[in-house]
A and B are shown apart, each in its own frame.
Chain A
Amino acid sequence: NAGVTQTPKFQVLKTGQSMTLQCAQDMNHNSMYWYRQDPGMGLRLIYYSASEGTTDKGEVPNGYNVSRLNKREFSLRLESAAPSQTSVYFCASSLASYNEQFFGPGTRLTVL
């Protein structure tokens, strides 16, 4: 089992560019999450999907969109990147909403 995988591992964008971060899990989990991690702020929830076909905003959703493509995959899209979105992004999954979560290795994004 690969667990939770994320691509890419690193990305550099210019202000205004768009990109999609990909996440997949092979644990047959129902719930998936996107977080951002910034120094001194812990993890903050961007969006989550309690189950296939549903998505909800988290604490910091502005500037992001998500798609729960199927039970395995949950993508995060930045339509017009801004320097404030420079961060490390983690995808996570859990069997049910807000149970023990399993995390991917992260994507380090820099917006110039």
Chain B
Amino acid sequence: GNSVTQMEGPVTLSEEAFLTINCTYTATGYPSLFWYVQYPGEGLQLLLKATKADDKGSNKGFEATYRKETTSFHLEKGSVQVSDSAVYFCALSANDMRFGAGTRLTVKP
């Protein structure tokens, strides 16, 4: 069946550091891929998405590229801020929706 595996956390970085959160997937067909973010006490919000191979999703300085050859959709940001502290979920949509376990990011000033 479909599944998503993402980097275990927690991840702690200093402000302005480079961020990578790894995500790989297993799916039949051609899934759409998403990154969602969850701030404390809130529901998930869509951060970015990509619907086909080689697409790059981007939003708020975050980027992820749909790599079919490596079945990956890694999240990156060049310079994190304290306000980026949250839990990040990788997800795929094919004939169902699957989420990764989430990666908690803490950014220290």
Contacts and interface: CB of A to CB of B under 8 A. Distances in A.
Interface residues of A, number: 20
Interface of A: 4, 33, 40-45, 58, 90, 92, 98-106
A4 B43 contact: yes
Contacts of A41: 101
20 contacts: A33-B97, A40-B101, A42-B99, A42-B100, A42-B101, A43-B44, A45-B97, A58-B96, A90-B44, A92-B44, A98-B96, A98-B97, A99-B32, A100-B34, A100-B49, A101-B97, A102-B46, A103-B36, A103-B43, A105-B43
Interface string B11-36: 00000000000000000000010101
Given A40-B101, A43-B99, A105 B93 contact: no
B93 A99 contact: yes
Nearest to A6: B43
B63 to A, nearest CB: 18
B42 interface: yes
Interface string B70-109: 0000000000000000000100011111011110000000
Contacts of A105: 41-43
B79 to A, nearest CB: 27
